[in-house]
Amino acid sequence: MTKSEEGKVLYLIICAAGPAGGANELVDLAQQAGWAVQVIATPAALDFIDTEALEEQTGRPVRSQYRKPGEPRSPKANAIIVAPATFNTINKWAAGISDTYALGVLAEALGLNIPVVVLPFVNTILANRTPYRNSVRSLIAEGAVILQEDSDNSPHWPGSGGSVVFPWGQVLLHL
């Protein structure tokens, strides 16, 4: 029985960063591994992704806003991947700020003991700032898995324009 047949749902939270346009690659890998995928995009990420293609690929609407009364709920997540995760999202999440649907989901996830794996795409200058390093430590202490220091691809140097190959497949290995 596959994970999707067992009802295993993976939330993929996409932030506004260069690699976001390649999120379909992770969706494909997750589906091959048996996950049903629900894509959640930060409002800014909507300009980086092909929403229609992701909806067709997953069979689910891409969510970026809280649902309206009467709209169906998304299925409950069994695991969450945040990729590419931005400086802004990581810092807001660690600070407990919940001003978007994506951050609201993340704010609750660790308290619900939902496994969360994060693949940042943060330029090296920002990644070296104390607030970011503190946010990463805080989220790890709460149970998030944050992949970055062992990767040549993230953080990245400013001006690379996302030309670095983003390691989409690496993140699934940590679920």
According to DSSP, the residues that pair with 120 across neighbouring strands are 85
Residue 44 to residues 35, 47, 58, 150, Cα–Cα distance (Å) = 26, 6, 21, 27
- Tell me if 30 sits within 8 A of 37, measured CB to CB: yes
Report all structural domains of the chain as residue ranges with CATH numbers, in order of start. 9-172 (3.40.50.1950)
DSSP 30-42: HHHTT-EEEEEE-
pLDDT in tens, the chain (175 residues): 334 445 799 999 999 999 999 999 999 999 999 999 999 999 999 999 999 999 999 999 999 999 999 988 899 999 999 999 999 999 999 999 999 999 999 999 999 999 999 999 998 889 999 999 999 999 999 999 999 754 444 455 455 554 567 889 889 999 9
**pTM of the predicted model as reported, rounded to 2 decimal places:** 0.90
Whether the bond between 84 and the residue before it is cis, its omega within 30 degrees of 0, is yes
